[in-house]
């Protein structure tokens, strides 16, 4: 029985990973297709026809992406920049971050480990046991949310279990998120305006920085400990 349950968990994880990968690939190819001037013009006309409703839809998607804590946020930020420009995209992404963070802190304060275990693997919880050091919580929050490649949305749940104040956490982590967020939004905005040279530079910078952060995350965690 235990072996069957383990197989079901693995199959579920593989299925979900395949969906996430598929969505990421589709979004990437869709964004690249906008190099065609006709498609770009049609896309911009469609955005104009949506109006405020499109803004709300993307805000809801950004909110759910953070609360679910399993879906990568990069493609959503890229689309936000392409759809609504840099400042409009920034408003959507920050709105999603703030409302999702408040929701997570409320859920964790009410249900504790029960809600955390739904979205964060036990291995991740064990890996971040050093968050119990109350004297360094704010410094750790900034470092962990600044370094690319770390599971930032899952980390919100883990920090919500600590004694850090939500308003302080929001300010610190929002500032720490800004460099990566600005790069993604600027890339999306460049695509929508047809500036593919600038968009390519943004893509390269984001990929390199994320790759470095991903491969150095184990070393960073050890250094923090």
SS (H, E, C) the chain: CHHHHHHHHHHHHHHHHHHHHHHHHHHHHHHHHCCCHHHHHHHHHHHHHHCHHHHHHHHHHHHHHHHHCCCCCHHHHHHHHHHHHHHHHHHHHHHHHHHHHHHHHHHHHHHCHHHHHHHCCHHHHHHCHHHHCHHHHHHHHHHHHHCCCCCHHHHHHHHHCCCCCHHHHHHHHHHHHHHHHHHHHHHHHHHHCCCHHHHHHHHHHHHHHHHHHHHHHHHHHHHHC
Q: 34: pLDDT confidence band, cut at 50, 70 and 90?
A: low
Cβ contacts of residue 86 below 8 Å, gap of 6+? 185, 186, 189
Q: What is the distance in angstroms between the CA of the first residue and the CA of the last residue of the chain?
A: 38
Residue with tokens 């804590």: 69
Region 52-73: what's the mean pLDDT?
Answer: 78
Of residues 77 and 160, the one with the higher pLDDT is 160
Domain boundaries, the chain: 34-224
Residue 95's pLDDT is 94
Mean pLDDT of 68-77: 73
Q: Which of 86, 81, 79 is nearest to 26 (CA)?
A: 79
In this structure, what is the dihedral angle of CA atoms 129, 132, 135, 140, given to the nearest 10 degrees?
40
Which are the contacts of 175, defined by CB distance < 8 A and separation ≥ 6? 142
Mean pLDDT of 199-217: 68
At 135-183, the pLDDT tens digits run 788 988 998 898 877 788 889 999 999 989 999 999 999 999 998 888 8
| pLDDT tens profile 80-128 | 887 788 898 899 999 999 999 999 999 999 888 888 888 887 777 777 7
Length of the chain: 225
- Tell me if 114 sits within 8 A of 214, measured CB to CB: no
Give the model's confidence band at 1: pLDDT under 50 very low, under 70 low, under 90 confident, else very high: low
The pTM of this model reads 0.71
């Amino acid at each position: 029985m235990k072996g069957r349950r383990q197989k079901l968990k693995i199959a579920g994880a593989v299925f979900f990973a395949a969906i996430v990968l598929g969505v990421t690939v589709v979004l990437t190819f869709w964004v690249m297709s906008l190099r065609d001037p006709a498609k770009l013009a049609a896309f911009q006309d469609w955005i104009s026809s949506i109006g405020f409703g499109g803004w709300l839809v993307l805000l809801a998607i950004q909110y759910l992406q953070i609360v679910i804590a399993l879906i990568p946020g990069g493609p959503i930020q890229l689309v936000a920049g392409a759809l609504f420009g840099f400042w409009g995209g920034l408003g959507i992404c920050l709105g999603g971050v703030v409302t999702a963070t408040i929701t997570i802190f409320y859920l964790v304060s009410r249900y504790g480990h029960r809600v955390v275990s739904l979205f964060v693997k036990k291995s991740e919880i064990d890996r971040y046991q050093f968050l119990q050091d109350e004297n360094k919580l704010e410094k750790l929050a900034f470092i962990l949310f600044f370094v690319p490649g770390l599971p930032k949305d899952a980390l919100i749940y883990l920090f919500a279990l600590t004694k850090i104040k939500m308003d302080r956490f929001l300010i610190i982590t929002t500032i720490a998120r800004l460099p990566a967020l600005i790069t993604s939004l600027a890339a999306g905005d460049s695509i929508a305006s047809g500036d593919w040279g600038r968009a390519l530079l943004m893509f390269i910078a984001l990929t390199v920085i994320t790759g470095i952060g991903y491969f150095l995350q184990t070393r960073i965690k050890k250094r923090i400990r």
